[in-house]
Structure 1
Amino acid sequence: MTNKKRWFAALALSICATLPAAAQDRAEERANMVETVQAHALSAPSVEAGVDPVVLEVMRAVPRHEFVPPDVRLLAYEDRPLPIGYGQTISQPFIVALMTDLLKIEPGDKVLEVGTGSGYQAAVLSPLAEEVYTIEIVPELGERAAGTFADLGFENVEAKIADGYYGWPEQAPFDAIVVTAAASQIPPPLVQQLKPGGRMVIPIGGPFSAQQLMLVEKQEDGSITSRQLLPVQFVPFTRAEQ
């Protein structure tokens, strides 16, 4: 294990120690969820060697049940998306793991998430990055997620309510960007806010047409490359009224 991975692993394990006692419940279910996620990843043609063990350790620690409504809490550790209200969902754990892994986050990185939703994806990013900035367009969801971050002690996550199409220019540039809703095209402001050498993971496609998870990379010279990874199904990217 490299020094970086040791550092990440120690940080991931420290999450459990700092979470409120109630949030540390259901550890066995989280462990089973992680095993299911890795098995899914190893069988997926687009995932070369499974999900990074450090990402899995983080997911083993972060209490997904704290990020879903009470009426679906018993289902929190199944490998499936769940409704969180306002027509939105919390992503399937396998997809969260895959998108996180694809970002290749390094110590000290600044990460932008577009589409806070329940807050679970940002919570998984939190111990891996120096700073996480997350944007939600639905005020009720954004406020609920911000409260959950505060309650659970995810102090390096900053949330705001806004149209995520425009990113967060005041905090740019970002080492990595993850978008958790399907856009018809890659928003140019997000490409502009990605650092050279940075990565963006985003689902592209319409709500009633095929969607593909895309990996977008900005080269050191500023040029952009992208490739399709696998078919997905996300809720549509919501814009503010123009």
Structure 2
Amino acid sequence: MNAPTDLEHARFNMIEQQIRPWDVLDLEILALLSRMHREDFVPIAHRALAFVDMQIPLTANTAEAEDNGWMMLEPKMEARMLQDLKVRPGDKVLEVGAGSGYMAALLGQRAQRVISLELKPELAKMARANLQRAGISNVDVREGDGAKGLPAEGPFDVIVLSGSVAEVPPALLSQLKVGGRLGAITGNEPIMRATFITRTGETTYETAQPWDINAPRLANFAEPSKFTF
């Protein structure tokens, strides 16, 4: 699937058969998905899977990638998260988990500035290279522990966790501006929920959980204690 017409046909089908049915109806986002070449952010070994409704390993060892959460998320999930966060042109965004850089690229096309934190150096290098090739200059990929956020650079209009956590730590919520939004996948298998938290005041927040989906775990976030009886 290398011919331009084949790629565009596959991209069209991804948008019409996977993303629209998931209530992604924002025409600007659909247009962005049409012009942002997802296949350019997928490792060469898995490029044939670029438009498939599945998570894609980001390292050569597929089993290791699955075990450690080094996965590119499903197209429908990335698109829905982008839509529901309502990213605006003046926004300053923090992403936790750069992966291949694709979500950061989408965010960069909607926001003023994006900082993406990636714990694994190999993935940070991949994301930087992919973003550079795509000509995206307002995204800064840094190696770092996203569980702590980036308080020195905050507060942020939007914080995106590109993976799942048991629960959102207060340290990240404190880095939102009043009116700022955080999006994450929270909970535990078999059911996790998309969680959107809006900071409504200095100490007040509103939470919505409009849809369910599972996602790989982000590293270094606290897990709840598991009791056995």
Q: TM-score range by the shorter chain?
A: 0.7 to 0.9
Give distance in 2, aligned partners of 1:27 and 1:155. Answer: 25
Give distance in 2, aligned partners of 1:28 and 1:210. Answer: 33
Q: Could you tell me which residue of structure 2 aligns to residue 226 of structure 1?
A: 207
Whether the 8 Å contact between 1:36 and 1:79 is mirrored in structure 2 is no
Q: 1:135 to 1:63 in 2, by over 3 A?
A: same
Counterpart code for 2:56 = L
Q: Could you tell me which residue of structure 2 aligns to residue 15 of structure 1?
A: none
Instruction: Describe the SS at the equivalent of 1:213.
Output: strand
What do the CA deviations read for 1:109-136 (whole angstroms, capped 9, x no partner)? Answer: 1111101111111111111100011011
Give distance in 1, aligned partners of 2:93 and 2:5. Answer: 26
More deviation in 193-202 or 227-236? 227-236
Give distance in 2, aligned partners of 1:109 and 1:37. Answer: 28
* Partner residue of 1:149 out of 109, 127, 131: 131
Q: Could you tell me which residue of structure 1 aligns to residue 62 of structure 2?
A: none
Is 1:159–2:141 an aligned residue pair?
yes
Give distance in 1, aligned partners of 2:219 and 2:125. Answer: 17
Counterpart code for 1:70 = I
* Partner residue of 2:37 out of 58, 63, 87: 63
Ranges of 4+ aligned residues in structure 1 off by more than 6 Å? 22-25
Q: Could you tell me which residue of structure 1 aligns to residue 15 of structure 2?
A: 34
- Unpaired runs of 5+ residues, structure 1, are 1-21, 43-49
Q: Could you tell me which residue of structure 2 aligns to residue 51 of structure 1?
A: 25
Instruction: Describe the SS at the equivalent of 1:147.
Output: helix
* Partner residue of 2:196 out of 186, 200, 215: 215
What do the CA deviations read for 1:136-173 (whole angstroms, capped 9, x no partner)? Answer: 11111111111111122110000111110111122211
Q: Could you tell me which residue of structure 2 aligns to residue 9 of structure 1?
A: none
What do the CA deviations read for 1:153-207 (whole angstroms, capped 9, x no partner)? Answer: 110000111110111122211111110121111121210111111111111123x
Is 1:195–2:185 an aligned residue pair?
no
Is 1:184–2:166 an aligned residue pair?
yes
Q: Could you tell me which residue of structure 1 aligns to residue 154 of structure 2?
A: 172
Counterpart code for 1:30 = R
Q: Could you tell me which residue of structure 2 aligns to residue 134 of structure 1?
A: 116
More deviation in 161-170 or 27-36? 27-36
Aligned residues: 211
Give the alignment's Cα RMSD to 1 decimal: 2.1
Give distance in 1, aligned partners of 2:191 and 2:173. Answer: 23
Give distance in 2, aligned partners of 1:181 and 1:38. Answer: 18
Q: 1:28 to 1:209 in 2, by over 3 A?
A: closer
Give distance in 1, aligned partners of 2:27 and 2:120. Answer: 33
TM-score scaled by structure 2? 0.85
TM-score scaled by structure 1? 0.81
